[in-house]
């Protein structure tokens, strides 16, 4: 009678090892080194539309997937405003959101984006491999994806992973 509980405990241990052995945030994006996928043709009314030309503008550009309903997106918003004020172009892709709510969010909290795409069904996000907002991509001047960062642009992970990648892209 001891065998069934031991077998069950073995399966639980095996499952736990499988669940915790890898860091999902550490998984590289298959897009790194590739040209950036397309962006939504739909724009968020009242804001400049995101265009393909913005992704290959000749300068390093960020593409940020965000949503008004996303608490981590709200946490990182001041950092996006700071980077935009420093002259870094950021293209925003609104992800699975309501147009009115997204518009109000940018009107109330300010708009850091040079262009805003609207992706209410998340189809563009699928092409980019986005699982949940916020996710930010660093693109070089010709539109090649250099780096993918899942999560808000704050904290030690931001400082230890994102900032070095951004500084390398900017030649700093």
Distance CA 67, CA 102 (A): 7
Q: Can you give the pTM of this predicted structure? A: 0.83
Nearest alpha-carbon partner for 54 in 95, 105, 92:
92
Of 6 and 21, the one with more pLDDT: 6
28-37, 107-116, 129-138, 145-154: least confidently modelled range: 28-37
* 72 pLDDT more than 80: yes
Here the tokens at position 150 are 């899942």
Q: What is the mean pLDDT of the chain?
A: 88
Strand-strand pairing, 145-150 and 135-139: antiparallel
> Domain residue spans in the chain?
31-169
Distance CA 172, CA 166 (A): 9
* 10 pLDDT more than 80: no
Q: Quick one: pLDDT at residue 8?
A: 53
Reported confidence tier of residue 161, pLDDT bands at 50, 70, 90: very high
The CATH number of domain 31-169 is 3.30.1330.80: no
Model confidence over 135-153: pLDDT tens digits? 999 999 999 999 999 999 9
């Amino acid at each position: 009678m001891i065998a069934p509980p031991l077998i069950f405990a073995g399966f639980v241990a095996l499952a736990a090892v499988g669940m915790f052995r890898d860091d999902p945030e550490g998984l590289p994006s298959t897009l790194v080194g590739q040209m950036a996928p397309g962006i939504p043709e739909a724009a968020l009314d009242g804001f400049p539309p995101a265009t393909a030309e913005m992704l290959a503008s000749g300068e390093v550009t960020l593409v940020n997937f965000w949503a008004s309903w996303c608490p981590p997106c709200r946490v990182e918003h001041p950092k996006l405003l700071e980077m935009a004020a420093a002259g870094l172009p950021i293209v925003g892709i609104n992800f699975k959101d309501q147009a009115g709510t997204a518009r109000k969010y940018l009107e109330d909290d300010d708009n850091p984006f040079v262009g805003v795409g609207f992706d209410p069904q998340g189809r563009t996000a699928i092409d980019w491999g986005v699982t949940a907002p916020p996710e930010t991509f660093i693109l070089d001047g010709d539109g090649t994806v250099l780096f993918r960062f899942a999560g808000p642009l704050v904290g030690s992970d931001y400082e230890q992973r994102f900032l070095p990648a951004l500084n390398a892209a900017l030649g700093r």
